[in-house]
Chains A and B, each alone.
Chain A
Amino acid sequence: MSVQMEDNQLLKQATSPKTRGLLRVIILALIAGAAVSSRLFSVIRFESIIHEFDPWFNFRATKYLVQHGFYSFWDWFDDRTWHPLGRVTGGTLYPGLMVTSGVIYHLLRALALPVDIRNICVLLAPAFSGLTALATYLLTSEMVTSPSAGLLAAAFMGIAPGYISRSVAGSYDNEAIAIFLLVFTFYLWIKAVKLGSVFYGALTALFYGYMVSAWGGYVFITNLLPLHAFVLICMGRYSPRLYVSYTSWYALGTLASMQIPFVGFLPIRSSEHMSALGVFGLLQLVAFVDYVRAQIPNKQFQTLLRALVLLVFVVAFGGLVLLTVTGVIAPWTGRFYSLWDTGYAKIHIPIIASVSEHQPTAWPAFFFDLNMLIWLFPAGVYMCFKRLTDEQVFVVIYAVLASYFAGVMVRLMLTLTPIVCVASAMAFSQILDTYLDARKPKVPAKEEEGADVAKVAAAAVLPEGLRSTRGPVIGIYSYASKLTVVGASLVYLLLFVMHCTWVTSNAYSSPSVVLASRLPDGSQHIIDDYREAYQWLRQNTPNDAKIMSWWDYGYQIGGMADRPTLVDNNTWNNTHIATVGKAMSSREEVSYPIMRQHEVDYVLVVFGGLLGYSGDDINKFLWMVRIAEGIWPDEVKERDFFTARGEYRVDDEATPTMKNSLMYKMSYYNYNKLFPAGQAQDRVRQARLPAQGPELSTIEEAFTSENWIIRIYKVKDLDNFGRDHQSATAFDKGTKKKRGSARRKGPKTLRVE
């Protein structure tokens, strides 16, 4: 539907014969097709399955929405997570994603196409990536006159691994639709600024509202647009168009965003949104002053007005600071602090630092995710500096901000990718336009290189761009140099396509619910322990058996095993997570009352020692300890888990605290029985385990999956005869109590009753 609309616009833009417009439409359709199909690796390799962790929750929520309807979804109180607190799910999620797939589901139903909701969820991200490519085309076309840049950008966006990483089929996450909305909102914003139109401002606000409903990253837009406006004002580029577009966006967009229950009053309460409000106020002043200046000749008066503006600004800023200090406006949240000070989270909020996607980006990741775009990107930004129009200022600001954020958090690579695609497409199209500028329209016959390359090359060859570079620019006439440069460019593009394909198929298409390994003969072997264990839970435990596990697996247990969990990936309650961390990292005698209090029936741990699966709980264990230490610094101490030499060990030299912790015991319980005596080997940590394995008394092994990745333990009931579990187990094993051993010690304790 929206594709149709955009296509119409494209056709309108085409200045000359319809064939050109048609060609462009075909190219864009092919790009969208390539974008979609390159994301289907995971479905082909594995199966149509929801990936990873968060998507499982989104999937579950979507199913709830489809089953119970929108209103009960809105009021959904989920009593199967965060036991026993529950979660006001309807009011604490971004509903955009679920509602989108719900709408698609019902739409298809109405069209008599009953598609399983799971397939809609699996394929939503690829479908939206096609739309993202189109939006990128539109955005880039607004930036430069050459339409080849737009087509190139669309192609880049379609296959850039930085975006694919979060949008392969099955990766049913908020980002799946949010990136499209991000790019499209930016496109509308640029359009609004260019035309000074309330209509486009309102559209921007609407899509901004949609974005707010879909992803927490909307704050990026909330800050980028005001920054753009602010920079324009500071550059002396204030124009009535800016006033019209910004104020209509802000007034409508803020109200739109407040309609989302999860966001609520945040737009006027939290510091993250204050810059938008501040710029809104500033724009009123500037507009007013501008207006008055137009009316009044007196120069002295103007300086006074300037002073007034400055004064008001200072007072407003002071007031803001004051309000923040007094607590009327919520200060910056921890996640945002960690954007400025990368060490902040590690010290103050271990829960945020523990998430792998919140880690600072390693520099190879940039090259891995963006390949050659990363060195074309600065060239594109430089080109924006050369002709600094309003929209190119936007590109520069976006580029600078997104680069910084992407360097701080791996996850924000996602916001960087669109601008990288846009900027490098601008640079690349400049090269191609220059070198393909043939007075005699001779085109190097090198285009038929395979689908993607052909498209890209075709995009570059379109004569539309040639006209724009005609004029003062002196072309290059030597065929030799043209051929060299164009040939080199084509090689680069080819390499880029190959890299993207390789990265997509190898790095980003694993569902991480199912693991794949290679057998010695090279064939693929599927390790399906997760689903095996969740299936076991589903079939062998009562429907309301409470499962305790580290929060990483909460969504999966909820989604696949359909059992209540204590904590899950929505890390809204740090204390509750710390409680689980404490139970995992303490001795059994300490853990047991905690588990009883929380009515835990089963404990699930992930253990990779047998298989060499490094993402297991022992490797995450230190985070549990740290998070627990944050709440109970006297009872859990990280230092106790390290040996005297500061090593984290699991073998004979492990500290007593480590060996007695519930997590250690659960991981290695009975493990040594798999090996000849004294030969037990942990393949992840390359350690030889103690000959004597750990003993459990308060819990008992219930299930261990085929490759020992998932181990499930049942929490025992209170001992029937009021004994503690240690002595009960000892008695069952045949160790008799020494008669009257307690009696002989010290004075008698008398029973008072």
Chain B
Amino acid sequence: MPPKHRTPATSTPAASTTPRSTTTPRSTAPTQSPKASKNNTDAQRIVQDLWSSYQTRTSQRTKLLDTFLAFLILVGVLQFLYVVLVGNFPFNAFLSGFSATVGQFVLTASLRIQTNPQNEGEFKTISQERAFADFVLGSLLLHFFCVNFIN
């Protein structure tokens, strides 16, 4: 089962754009600054298109997932800012706090990928329910490790 390289699904309407995608233009803005003037309206239009298509096309659960992801990013960024500003004195506490968020993020992202209908070809053996059960298992493990590590 060699993995096909996924062709960008341009014609098929994309299932979703995460809240992350709204940040995309912002985060890439510095890199494309020379062409900013040219791309500015372009980008804005794209963003608007994406946002509307996201609103209409995304399932309830995926929206929920995206909200949770955004929440985790927020928590993670806050913790990271705190580390940069204040310092990481109980290092194990910082590690478990931060890695709980990061770990939860990747697990949730995995769940999102697995439940994405677009990826169904990749995950033939994994049903939605199975994916969710795996996710719960992984999260419980993660929480156990973190709480244990923070002591």
| Residue ranges of A at the interface with B (Cβ–Cβ < 8 Å) | 194-199, 201-202, 205-206, 236-237, 239-241, 243-244, 247-248, 250-252, 254-256, 258-259, 265, 268, 284, 287-288, 290-298, 304-305, 307-308, 311, 388-390
Contacts and interface: CB of A to CB of B under 8 A. Distances in A.
Nearest to A305: B28
Contact of A290 (B6, B102, B123, B137): B6
B10 A297 contact: yes
B75 to A, nearest CB: 15
A211 to B, nearest CB: 16
B50 interface: yes
B119 interface: yes
B77 interface: no
Given A198-B131, A248-B106, A290-B6, A295 B123 contact: no
B93 interface: no
A295 B21 contact: yes
Nearest to B119: A240
Contacts of B142: 251-252, 255
Given A304-B31, A389-B1, A389-B2, A292 B134 contact: no
A206 B31 contact: no
Interface string B107-129: 10111011010110011011000
Contacts of A252: 103, 138, 141-142, 145
Contact of B95 (A265, A293, A295): A265
Nearest to B13: A295
A255 B28 contact: no
Given A254-B99, A290-B6, A240 B113 contact: yes
A198 B91 CA distance: 28
B99 A251 contact: yes
A30 to B, nearest CB: 32
B145 A197 contact: no
A196 B111 CA distance: 11
Contact of A251 (B18, B46, B103): B103
A287 B119 CA distance: 13
Given A248-B110, A311-B31, A241 B21 contact: no
Interface of B: 1-3, 5-6, 8-10, 14, 17-18, 20-21, 24, 28, 31-32, 46, 50, 91-92, 95-96, 99, 102-103, 106-107, 109-111, 113-114, 116, 118-119, 122-123, 125-126, 130-131, 133-135, 137-138, 141-142, 145-146, 148-149
Contact of B110 (A236, A243, A259): A243
Given A198-B135, A252-B145, A304-B31, A268 B114 contact: no
Contacts of A240: 113-114, 116, 119, 122-123
Given A240-B119, A265-B91, 5 more contacts: A196-B126, A201-B110, A236-B5, A247-B110, A297-B10
Contacts, number: 132
Given A255-B149, A294-B6, A308-B31, A268 B141 contact: no
A237 B8 contact: no
Contacts of B133: 199
Contacts of B134: 197-199, 202
B141 A295 contact: no
A196 B114 contact: yes
A239 B5 CA distance: 8
- A-B CB proximity, top 5 nearest: A251-B103, A198-B134, A247-B106, A255-B145, A239-B3
B138 A195 contact: no
Nearest to A264: B92
A413 B113 CA distance: 40
A298 to B, nearest CB: 7
18 contacts: A196-B122, A197-B126, A198-B138, A202-B134, A240-B114, A240-B116, A243-B109, A243-B113, A244-B114, A247-B109, A247-B110, A252-B142, A255-B99, A293-B8, A296-B50, A297-B10, A305-B28, A308-B31
Contact of A241 (B9, B18, B122): B122
Contacts of B92: 265
A1 to B, nearest CB: 20
B103 A297 contact: no
